[in-house]
Every structure is written in C-alpha cells, then in structure tokens.
Amino acid sequence: MLTMVLPLSEAGESPSPLLPHTAEIIFGFVFLILLAIAFAKVVVPKFEKAYADRTTAIEGGMNEAKQAQAEAKAALEKYNAQLAEARQEAAKIREDAREQGAQIIAEMREQANAEAERIVTHARTQIDAERAQAVASLRSEVGHMATTLAGRIVGESLEDEARQRRTVERFLADLEASESARQAVGTDG
C-alpha cells in the first residue's frame, strides 16, 4: 500500500484553519457596518449630548466662578472703601475730641484763673478792710494811751475831746513821717 501524498490544493480544497469562510467575512463586514451605523445613531449622539452638557456645565461653572470672583472682588473693594471711610471718620472723631479736649482745658483754665483772681481780689479786699479796722483800732488805742501819757507828763488832764483828737492826729502824723523816712532810707541803702 503505497499511498501517495498529494498536495492539498490538488486533493480538493479543505478550509484553512487560519482563514475564515467567505460567508463569515461578508457577515462580519455587514455586522460591523450595522454596528457602526447603530453606534453612530444611538451611542455617539448620547456621547455628544453628554459631552455638550459637560462642556456647558464646565463653562457655566467657570462663568459662575468668574462672576463669584468678580462679586468677591467688588465686595472686597467695597469693604476696603468702607474701612478707609471708617478710618477717616475715626481720625476725624479723634481730632474733634482733641480739639474739644483742648477747648475744655482752655475753658477750665480760664475759669480757674477767673476764680483765682476773684479769690485774690476778695482776699485783698478783706485784708484791706481788716487792716483799716486794725489801724482804726490801733489809732484809737494809741490815741487813748498817748493822751493818758501826755496828761501824766503835762500834769493836766487832756479829757477835752477836740484837744485829744488834735494831739493824737499830730502824734500819728509824726509817727507815719518817721516810718516813711525809715523806709526811704532802707530802700536807698
């Protein structure tokens, strides 16, 4: 038995395990085209819509973010303006308070000076009145003593009021003249 080995091509062509059948290729190609059409009609529009929605959402978010940023910037500028205005107003209030304080101090000093002047004037008036009263009292006492002493020295009574008054006046005038002369000598030396 001799068998001869014939090449495949001569033996009647059996399908190759590596190459598919022609009907499978045509069916696969038609299925691929139908799948591409279905994908293009159903899936791609959904993807496009999702992409457009997402793009719109992102752009809207970006616009909202820009708007929020602009609003925040405007609010910051408004806040800074209000803060500057408040600082200016505070400085004005401080300056007004300083001016009012200085004015109050000046008024109080003026009142204190006026009160001190009034007190000094009153004290001087009171001192002058007390001095005049003391001088009058001393004149009376000195006059009485002088007339009593002069009456003892002279040996006669100087009870006559007019004579007594003249004697006292003369004595006091001499006393004041000698006091003035002593003060003049004391200030010259």
Q: What is the DSSP string of 153-175?
A: HHSS----HHHHHHHHHHHHHHH
> Is the pLDDT confidence value at 156 over 70?
no
Assess if residue 110 is contained within a domain: yes
Rounded-to-integer distance, Cα 81 and Cα 153, Å = 104
Assess if residue 153 is contained within a domain: no
What is the model's pLDDT at position 87?
Answer: 94
Assess if residue 62 is contained within a domain: yes
- With 0-12 / 13-18 / 19 or more C-beta atoms within 10 angstroms meaning exposed / middle / buried, residue 87 is exposed
Range of the domain at 118: 39-146
153: pLDDT confidence band, cut at 50, 70 and 90?
Answer: confident
Number of domains in the chain: 1
Rounded-to-integer distance, Cα 120 and Cα 142, Å = 31
104: pLDDT confidence band, cut at 50, 70 and 90?
Answer: very high
> Is the pLDDT confidence value at 145 over 80?
no
What is the model's pLDDT at position 100?
Answer: 93
